[in-house]
Amino acid sequence: MNVLVTGGAGFIGSHIAEGLLEAGHDVTALDILDPYYDLGIKERNIDICRDIAPDSFEFVEGSITDEELVRELVSSRDIQFVYHQAAQAGVRTSVENPKKPHEINTTGLLNLLLAADDHGVTRFVNASSSSVYGEVEYLPYDEDHQNVPQSPYGVTKLTAEHYCRVWDEVYDLPTVSLRYFTVYGPRMRPNMAITNFTSRCLNGTAPEIYGDGQQTRDFTYIDDIVGANLALLETGAADGEVMNIGSTGNITIEELAEHIIDETGADVDIEYTDAKEADARHTHSDVTKANELIDYEPSTTIREGVSQFVGWYRENREWYEPLVLNS
């Protein structure tokens, strides 16, 4: 199968591309290589995919906001399946510059939907986010929970979901939106809490928490995210649906920092600073729907995943750590 992965040089996109290549599919990865974080990580992601199947992987540098490029790629590569992972990420970044995430996360998505529909793509999988929920009415979030995003980023992700729903209902393009809950694992973005805490601890520096540390997160290991995405190659049961893709539970940020201190053996104490604007206080996913539709069962607890990440980090400090420390 010919598959387009947007954001294919990024953390989640490259892992999905790996899984597709290992399963024998042909992958075109589109990525603008925005230096939102050090490009060395993205370049390594591309090299890893090339090494897996050099004859089945193509990298194209470009933006999903380039309508002509998107149309040309989908048609000339005879794309049958789209995994849309490209986005301007970052809740705090979107507060500082709301125009950029709107252009990429909304207009860029529309370009892809139009091209996919014109070419008769088999299925379009959209990466959404737990940020669409916003204000907590109850936990864990199920898909019927109210959507009151608290950041421009969350608004763009919710808008993208509605576009996908309309393209499924009105234009008969099969679409699925997966609401990710804080994804982590090897090669993750260096500005995420787990990477930052690990880097600090391994270098004898105290992990710094924004706020009181009692905010909770549902962290999802990258292998579980890839499994959920690849399951959609085999079933149409989820067409037109929105599904939570989360983990086996949640954890306070303070507990997370304490666990990383224990895993690294660092002799440091946690430091606290002011809370950041627009950050959600709590997240926790109900994955019942995903379990029913695609047999999704998260397999990695946060403590298991953090232990695996710290081990991977130690093995890859030579190339990964300088990027983190300079971010």
Give the tens place of pLDDT for each residue, 180-233. Answer: 999 999 999 988 999 999 999 999 999 999 999 999 999 999 999 999 999 999
Q: Indicate which residue of 83, 133, 153, 313 is catalytic.
A: 153
How confident is the model over 130-155, as a mean pLDDT? 94
- What tokens appear for 5 in the block? 């992965």
- Is 133 tagged catalytic? no
| 215 lies in some domain | no
Alpha-carbon torsion (317, 35, 9, 7), positive or negative: positive
Report yes or no: 253 and 271 within 8 Å, Cβ to Cβ.
no
pLDDT of residue 322: 58
Helices (H), the chain: 11-22, 39-52, 67-76, 91-96, 99-102, 108-119, 152-169, 193-202, 222-231, 253-264, 288-294, 302-315, 317-325
Residue 326 has pLDDT above 50, yes or no: no
| 192 lies in some domain | no
Euclidean distance between CA atoms 245 and 255, whole angstroms: 22
The kind and range of the H/E element at 84 are: strand 81-84
- pTM of the model as a whole: 0.95
- What tokens appear for 180 in the block? 């990710």
| 327 lies in some domain | no
CA atoms in the 13 A half-sphere facing the CB of 171: 21
CATH code of the domain containing 91: 3.40.50.720
Euclidean distance between CA atoms 105 and 112, whole angstroms: 11
| 38 lies in some domain | yes
Structural domain containing residue 150 = 2-182+222-246+281-299
Into how many domains does the chain fold?
Answer: 1
Report yes or no: 57 and 21 within 8 Å, Cβ to Cβ.
yes
| 84 lies in some domain | yes
Euclidean distance between CA atoms 82 and 115, whole angstroms: 11
| 154 lies in some domain | yes
| 9 lies in some domain | yes
Summarised one tens digit per residue, pLDDT across range 33-49 is 998 888 999 999 999 99
Report yes or no: 290 and 141 within 8 Å, Cβ to Cβ.
no
Report yes or no: 121 and 110 within 8 Å, Cβ to Cβ.
no
| 208 lies in some domain | no
